[in-house]
Structure 1
Amino acid sequence: MSFGDPNNPYSQQPPQGQPSHPQQAPQGVPPQYGYPQQPYGAYPPAGMPGVPGAGMPPLAHWGQRVGAYLLDMLIILGPMYALGFIDLAGSDDPANAEPGAFFLIGIVYTLAMGIYQLYLEGKTGQTTGKKVLGISLHREADGRTLGFGMAFVRKLAHFLDSAACYLGWLWPLWDAKKQTFADKVCSTVVVKVNKG
């Protein structure tokens, strides 16, 4: 075999100084030592914002977002109202009834469930309603989830959606990125995800 023989595995060597395949950092070696860096929290090629070559997945339409919001409100507020009605039904004078034990239990449930849903949205991008409807909240720049703190800030930023005569809630109907005012301020997008 000679150096130019196609059957010789050593005959087609890359030029000196250039690797024949991309190098990956060994396990536990920080990427700053000459290895290519992968974006932190990168999603598989199925697609999330900010992942090279993946592109942004389809954006959630307004109806999905409204449906998820209504389902979340039913989960969070429904039991409080049901327990409040139980208190009213057990009262001798429903017109002048004071909040009873069931209603107070409902308030505690509402606060706990609201915090839990916020935790889920920050950690996974999905509240229960978003999960049921197959949508997810992510950072626009890199596709990562928000974390609890930023999810809380986004909830507070929804004040802007209501302050302008509720126009911010309708903004996704015509916006190119289907964002509310809160999404624009917090640089977030709501995307469709595969249910599975």
Structure 2
Amino acid sequence: MSFGPPNDPYGQPQNPQQGQPGYGYPQQGQPGYGQQAPQGVPPQGYGQPPQPGYPQQPGYPQQGYGYPQQGPQAFGYPGGPGPRVASMGRRLGARAIDAVAFAVIYVVLGVIGVAGSLSAANDCDPNAADYNTCINNAGSDIAAKFGAVIGVLAIVGLLYEWLMTGLVGGTLGKLAVGIRVVKADTGQKPGLGSSFIRWIIPIVGSLACGIGQLLVYLSPFWDKSGRQQGWHDKAASTMVIQN
């Protein structure tokens, strides 16, 4: 007589917990839930193994190798928010303020020079034999003073745009509307080298009847990087941001 359960030819009771693979039980040679895998054997658990790269920090999701940049530029701060790129309206307003300031300086110097030359012309005696010579000398004096005014303005413009941008981060017009020029990779002040490159490119463009200069100042509209960098900004590795 057999004492085992039906369909058991050996007469031994089946124990599902001893060496029998099945649902809910670990198979032979595999670590179970909560068990540690032998040394040198990678764990077999849920999910994917960790990816190489920087350690994940709270608030900065890890994607692949390293942290992704967020926004047009994060100034070396991994995963940090990018700066607020200055709008073209603000940049145009800053340029207009600077232009008005230079126009005022030009008019003041021009009036001073012309007033002195006209005074010299009025001193010429119409009845004198050298009247024409006196008038010609007065006219030459006016032209010379206008040339001096233009030269002074050119020097002032160079020092103003170059030094203010390199050392302060912007001209008076830019500071008035709340924008400044920074290095695109660090967010620091451009320095004299980058600011000179940024200044000289529009000046060279102005030699072509001003068309090149206009194209340089309009080139941020065609920038697809999200930073609205003009050709002069790209050459100098700078960008214009809002404070």
TM-score of Structure 1 vs Structure 2, range by shorter chain? 0.5 to 0.7
Q: Aligned residue for 2:227?
A: 177
Greater Cα shift, 171-180 or 149-158: 171-180
Asked if 1:79 corresponds to 2:105, the answer is yes
Whole-angstrom distance in 1 between the partners of 2:242 and 2:163: 20
Per the alignment, in what secondary structure is the counterpart of residue 187 of structure 2?
coil
Aligned partners of 1:81 and 1:106 also within 8 Å: no
* Aligned residue identity for 1:96: G
- Where in structure 2 are the equivalents of 1:143-162 lying within 5 Å? 143-159=187-203
Q: Evaluate the alpha carbon distance shift between residue 110 and residue 56 of structure 1 in structure 2; reply closer, same or farther with a 3 A threshold.
A: same
Which fold has the larger relative contact order, with Cα–Cα distance below 8 Å and residues 6 or more apart in sequence? 1
Q: Aligned residue for 2:50?
A: none
Whole-angstrom distance in 2 between the partners of 1:81 and 1:146: 32
Aligned partners of 1:125 and 1:138 also within 8 Å: yes
Runs of 4+ in 1 over 6 A off after TM superposition: 100-103
> Greater CA radius of gyration, 1 or 2?
2
Aligned partners of 2:75 and 2:185 also within 8 Å: yes
Gaps of 5+ in 2: 1-72, 122-134
Asked if 1:118 corresponds to 2:162, the answer is yes
Asked if 1:69 corresponds to 2:69, the answer is no
Aligned residues: 147
Per the alignment, in what secondary structure is the counterpart of residue 64 of structure 1?
helix
Name the Cα RMSD after superposition: 3.3
1:71-90 Cα shifts (integer Å, max 9, x gaps) = 22333453133221232244
* Aligned residue identity for 2:175: K
Q: Evaluate the alpha carbon distance shift between residue 64 and residue 57 of structure 1 in structure 2; reply closer, same or farther with a 3 A threshold.
A: same
Whole-angstrom distance in 2 between the partners of 1:69 and 1:138: 17
Q: Evaluate the alpha carbon distance shift between residue 160 and residue 81 of structure 1 in structure 2; reply closer, same or farther with a 3 A threshold.
A: same
What's the offset of the Cα at 1:191? 0.4
Aligned partners of 1:71 and 1:129 also within 8 Å: yes
- Among the aligned pairs, what percent are the same residue? 30
Tell me the TM-score normalized by structure 2. Answer: 0.50
Gaps of 5+ in 1: 1-46
Whole-angstrom distance in 1 between the partners of 2:104 and 2:81: 39
Whole-angstrom distance in 1 between the partners of 2:217 and 2:156: 25
| Aligned equivalent of 1:60, options 67, 78, 86 | 86
Whole-angstrom distance in 2 between the partners of 1:58 and 1:142: 14
Q: Aligned residue for 2:139?
A: 96
Greater Cα shift, 118-127 or 164-173: 164-173
What's the offset of the Cα at 1:104? 4.0
Whole-angstrom distance in 2 between the partners of 1:160 and 1:111: 15
Asked if 1:190 corresponds to 2:240, the answer is yes
What's the offset of the Cα at 1:103? 7.6
